[in-house]
A and B are shown apart, each in its own frame.
Chain A
C-alpha cells in the first residue's frame, strides 16, 4: 500500500538557524498537505500543494512539491521559538484515496 516517509524524525536547531523536513511517497500523489502540531495540541493545517513542481511561501515557510509528485519539503528560514512542534506531511494517492500521514519531524529550537 501507499507509504509516506518523512525525515528527519527529530531536529534540534539554534534560534535563527534554518530547518528543512522532507517527505517521500512510494506512489504518485494527487496532492500533499502539511500540518503543524504543537506539544499537547492538535494538528493544524498549513498548506496543500497540488501541482507538479509547485512552490508556495508563507512568511518564513517555503513548501515544495516535486516534479514527479512523489516528494515534498518544508523549509523554515531563521527559526524562532514559536516554530517548535511536530511537522507532518500527508499525501493523498488519488482524488478519492486515503490521506496517509508521515510520522512527522519534531523540531526543537534553542533560544
Chain B
C-alpha cells in the first residue's frame, strides 16, 4: 500500500493564481482531512470529509475549496492564491471504529506539499 500520497511536493504560485493540491489514499478510509502547518502554529484543519460526497469546514477554510467524489481522492483547491497561504499542506486519512461506545482512530498523514505564494 502507498498509504497517503500528495502531489506536487513543491509549488510556487503568483498572487491570484489558482491551483489544486492532489491527495489520494489506498486504505479505503472514509475520513480525510486537509491541514496547513505554519511555523509556531501547529497544524490547523482546513476542510475534512467523512465520506464520498460529504465535506465540511475546519478551523481555517477561507480561500480553499474541496470535493470528495470518490473514497480515494480528496483534492484541495486554492481559488485565488494569496501570500498568506504560503505554508506546508498535509492531507490525512483515517478510519474510525466504534468499540465499546468509544471511537478508535489512527490518522495517517501524507508527505506534504510546500507552497510558496509570491
Contact = CB atoms under 8 A, between A and B. Distances in A.
B90 A50 contact: no
Interface string A88-100: 1010000100111
Nearest to B109: A42
A42 B112 contact: yes
Contacts of A28: none
Contacts of A44: 109
Nearest to B108: A45
Interface stretch (A12-20, A72-80, A101-109): A101-109
B53 interface: no
A48 interface: yes
Given A48-B106, A50-B104, A98-B48, A43 B111 contact: no
A30 interface: yes
Chain B interface size band reads 20 to 34
Given A42-B90, A42-B110, A98-B58, A103 B42 contact: yes
**For chain B, what secondary structure do more than half of its interface residues adopt (helix, strand, loop), or is it mixed?**
strand
A24 interface: no
Contacts of B102: 30-31, 50-51
Contacts of A21: none
A42 to B, nearest CB: 4
A7 B111 CA distance: 26
Nearest to A86: B42
Contact of B106 (A41, A45, A99, A103): A45
B43 A43 contact: yes
Interface string A7-37: 0010000000000000000000011010000
A48 B44 CA distance: 19
Interface of A: 6, 9, 30-31, 33, 41-45, 48, 50-51, 88, 90, 95, 98-104
